[in-house]
Amino acid sequence: MDTERFLSLLRDQKEYQNQIVHIEKLPARSAQYGVLNEPLHFELQDALEKNEIRSLYSHQAEAVNAVREGKNVTVITSTASGKTLCYNLPVIDAILTDPKSTALYIFPTKALAHDQMSKIDEFGLFPRVRHATFDGDTSSVDRPYIKKMAQIVLTNPDMLHMGIFPGHGSWSKFLGQLKFVVIDEMHMYRGVFGAHMAQIIRRLRRICAIYGSRPQFLCCSATIANPKELTESLTGIPDPVVVNNNGAPCGKKTMVFWNPPTADASSGNRRSANGEATSLLVGLTIFGARNITFTRARRTAEIVLKYARTLLGETSPHLISRIASYRSGYTVKERRQIEERLFSGKLLGITATNALELGVDISGIDAVVLTGYPGTIAATWQQAGRAGRSGQESLAILVAQDNPLDQFLMRYPEFFFDQSHEMSIIDPNNKKIISSHLLCAAYEAPLKKEDMELFGEVSSRMARQLRNEGKLVLRGDRLFYGEHGYPASGVNIRSASNSIYRIMDISEKDFMLGTMESQTAFKLLHPGAIYLHNGESYEVKQLNIDSLEATVQPVDANFYTEASEQAEISILSCLHSVQNNNLVCSFGEVEVSSHVVSFQKKRYYSGEVIETQLLSLPPNIFETEAFWLEIPQQLQDQLANAGAVLAGSIHAVEHTIINMLPLLATCDRNDLGGLSQIYHPDTHLPTIFIYDAYPGGVGIAETIFARMEGMLTAALALITGCKCAEGCPACIQSSSCGFGNQPLDKRGGMLLLQWLLGVLSDEPQK
């Protein structure tokens, strides 16, 4: 693709209003090759040569050598670098050498497991290497064969938890000979899902030990800041070998930051990112570039496609059939058809969700458009890396949305390009999650004293509590599962809550569309909410709290809904506290009473608020982890002398901190909650709380507490860099604020951050 020519054409268009705020040119990189300490099995070597692979990149050779030395290995390289070979080669080599060896591949989704199954097929070694996927779609006819005969089983955490562990006796042959466990896309295991995954891996290690095996762990991930720590947290095994020197080649890439122009000078609101992305998709298609436009939601992907077809109908109607959408919900066959049309040139552009971000290998893409910052630096590079996989010159355009994080990056692009990737955070010691997995483990085999060390530092205390509740029963020196039923069926590993709401479509005789954990049901399934499923809109008619059921019906809505909540916090314990001049910050356990109080209807495409409606729902009370900032009397006096409003100042700082957190940790804005009070009964001072929005906590608040000064520095840069006078959606306002963004004092928030950081020592005058 001739990137310079395309960008020049964009600048010449009459609609261009200096949207390009930054261009980063990344040079091409040549391949760096490595050498294996010992040659591969001759059949595997022949298979590689048939696939025209005659040399290994340096990171591939380094990983294979380390695995063959018996080490646990974590590979952290960018997309399209050939990470799959880092584990397929040593696994297949070992199976060819010792056919009794087995390997378990774990992927976060079924789709990824099936995609990676095709990579093993390409070696052409079946039946010498017998491999199969095992998930909820596996037929009852195939299951006995897989358990007895497969050497490589590809599955997902849900199937391990629900389908393999409870009946592990039928897997005794496979597990007893298990030599390798592969955890791919490791960065996806964060927050609640990651905490559950950590316990699932500990249950796996325990069952393997029962059958006499001790497998090596081979992990792969997109680039993150803490690969060693994440591997240790997930597996419970110390000191993995981290391979992070990428030897794969790549073509020249141009990264463009594109900021929609201001639509309303008085409010500072900008034009829709969806509209800008649509224009870019159309421009790339007319230019003849194969392109992907990423969106954050399935419905947005369909909307952008609809708008793009309308625009093409006005200028180039012959191209309408050459754009399509690609999102979750499609069958493998449908996805392959779209990919084939894209490879062959029949299809030029597609709109997609992150169904194309993870692991799916599509080559031949010239350009990608990212509709809004994907949430993490790692995800941004994952999506940008979809272009140029064949080594050709490529273009990636990040179109900013009108929110604080996107606008911060538009003002400070160097932060993105200079910043190391975020930390991927999990808390393997979440008490609620450990308790649920101790019950599952006891069902699988009675718990022994030595198991407590495996499950984590708080497991002994939680086991005693479960025993007191009668859920575990002590017989001799072992703890047995003390209840009836199947404990794994009551544990949702993608949620911290075991209370699950069913979502019923009343237009289809109460057909169940899906489920949702209680922790988020009040925010997303309240009466009047728009629930999205497979690109279709449904209006929530009723939320029955007693029966844990939400009834919905299809609706043709041109708007979406966004709920607001308020919270009250009580400090249960202070675990750590630091003081540095004016900065007094603590971390500990808190009780949160969260209350969803209202919701807004917002128009698609523009985000315009149509109306706000109040809600009457009960509070959600849970214990979690938080950090809090106390505002000493000296700073209160300085704010008053500066003419700032105390309540508005601390409220602005609260919003700004939460808005900036995803830049330091792989989390979503909704993973956190906040509260600011001019007087808190536990601290007796004005206090700002930031808490994990999940029972027991997931480690985000603790991680940010340890990096507080960096967090406050980024928050200060966000406020000072925004050109608005009194605060706007791009800096201190929050769409989910339960108090309607009142009061907010931008100048007071800026002064408070400066004083907390010690960068403003002189007391300003009124």
CATH code of 260's domain: 3.40.50.300
Asked if residues 494 and 196 have their Cβ atoms less than 8 Å apart, the reply is yes
Question: Rounded CA gap, 520 and 622, in Å?
Answer: 13
| Residue (of 490, 485, 360) closest to 79 by Cα position | 360
Q: Are residues 604 and 624 in the same domain?
A: yes
Q: Which two tokens stand for residue 395?
A: 């273009």
Whether residue 695 is preceded by a cis peptide bond, meaning omega within 30 degrees of 0, is: no
Q: Which stretches does DSSP call E strand in 158-252? A: 178-183, 216-221, 241-243
Q: Are residues 531 and 578 in the same domain?
A: no
Q: Is 421 within a domain?
A: no
Q: Which stretches does DSSP call E strand in 510-653? A: 511-517, 530-533, 536-544, 549-554, 559-580, 583-603, 609-614, 620-630
Question: Rounded CA gap, 542 and 554, in Å?
Answer: 14
Asked if residues 628 and 708 have their Cβ atoms less than 8 Å apart, the reply is no
Confidence at residue 68, expressed as pLDDT on a 0 to 100 scale? 98
Q: Is 418 within a domain?
A: no
Confidence at residue 494, expressed as pLDDT on a 0 to 100 scale? 80
Give me the average pLDDT of each 10-residue run along the chain (766 residues): 96 95 94 96 97 96 98 91 95 98 94 87 95 94 96 97 96 98 92 92 98 98 88 96 93 96 75 93 96 84 89 95 77 72 86 65 84 86 84 93 90 83 82 94 96 92 96 96 91 77 86 82 93 79 94 90 91 95 93 93 79 93 95 96 97 93 76 93 97 89 91 92 85 83 95 91 46
Q: Which two tokens stand for residue 666?
A: 């792989």
Asked if residues 284 and 291 have their Cβ atoms less than 8 Å apart, the reply is yes
Q: Is 219 within a domain?
A: yes
Q: Are residues 81 and 107 in the same domain?
A: yes
Confidence at residue 580, expressed as pLDDT on a 0 to 100 scale? 86
Q: Is 416 within a domain?
A: no
Range(s) of the domain holding residue 232: 33-243
Confidence at residue 766, expressed as pLDDT on a 0 to 100 scale? 41
| Residue (of 209, 235, 204, 215) closest to 87 by Cα position | 215
Helical packing angle, 746-757 and 633-641, nearest 10°: 140
The count of structural domains within the chain is 5
Q: Is 765 within a domain?
A: no
Q: Are residues 658 and 555 in the same domain?
A: no
pTM of the predicted model, to two decimals?
0.83
Domain boundary among 243, 270, 298: 243
Domain boundary among 243, 277, 302: 243
Question: Rounded CA gap, 716 and 701, in Å?
Answer: 19
Q: Is 604 within a domain?
A: yes
Would you give the DSSP letter of residue 250? Answer: B
Q: Is 556 within a domain?
A: yes
Q: Are residues 233 and 95 in the same domain?
A: yes
Q: Are residues 133 and 270 in the same domain?
A: no
Would you give the DSSP letter of residue 423? Answer: B
Which contacts (CB < 8 Å, 24+ apart) does range 5-14 have? 6/283, 6/284, 6/287, 6/289, 6/367, 6/395, 7/254, 7/256, 7/395, 9/283, 9/287, 10/280, 10/283, 13/283
Strand duo 56-57 + 33-34: pairing:
antiparallel
The set of residues, in sequence order, having a beta carbon less than 8 Å from that of 268 and lying 6+ positions away, is: 262, 723, 724, 728, 730
Question: Rounded CA gap, 411 and 716, in Å?
Answer: 13
The Cβ-side half-sphere exposure at 297, using a 13 Å CA radius, reads 13
Q: Are residues 255 and 233 in the same domain?
A: no
Q: How distant is the alpha carbon of residue 683 from its chain centre?
A: 34
Q: Which two tokens stand for residue 330?
A: 């499609």
Domain boundary among 226, 243, 260: 243
Confidence at residue 764, expressed as pLDDT on a 0 to 100 scale? 42
Q: How distant is the alpha carbon of residue 582 from its chain centre?
A: 34
Q: Are residues 358 and 440 in the same domain?
A: no
Residue count of the chain: 766
Q: Are residues 61 and 207 in the same domain?
A: yes
Helices (H) and strands (E) in the chain, counts: 25, 29
Question: Rounded CA gap, 72 and 222, in Å?
Answer: 18
Q: Are residues 407 and 304 in the same domain?
A: yes
Q: Which two tokens stand for residue 604?
A: 């698609």
Question: Rounded CA gap, 427 and 230, in Å?
Answer: 10
Q: Are residues 45 and 75 in the same domain?
A: yes
Other beta carbons within 10 angstroms of residue 668's beta carbon come to 14
Question: Rounded CA gap, 245 and 32, in Å?
Answer: 10
Q: Are residues 539 and 679 in the same domain?
A: no
Question: Rounded CA gap, 103 and 184, in Å?
Answer: 13
Instruction: Report which residue type is found at 546.
Output: D
| Helix, strand, coil tally for the chain in percent (to 5) | 40, 25, 35
Q: Which two tokens stand for residue 286?
A: 């007319």
Q: Is 766 within a domain?
A: no
Please return the burial class of 211, using the count of CB atoms within 10 Å of its CB with bins 0-12, 13-18 and 19+: middle
Q: Which two tokens stand for residue 248?
A: 């794969």
End-to-end CA distance of the chain: 57
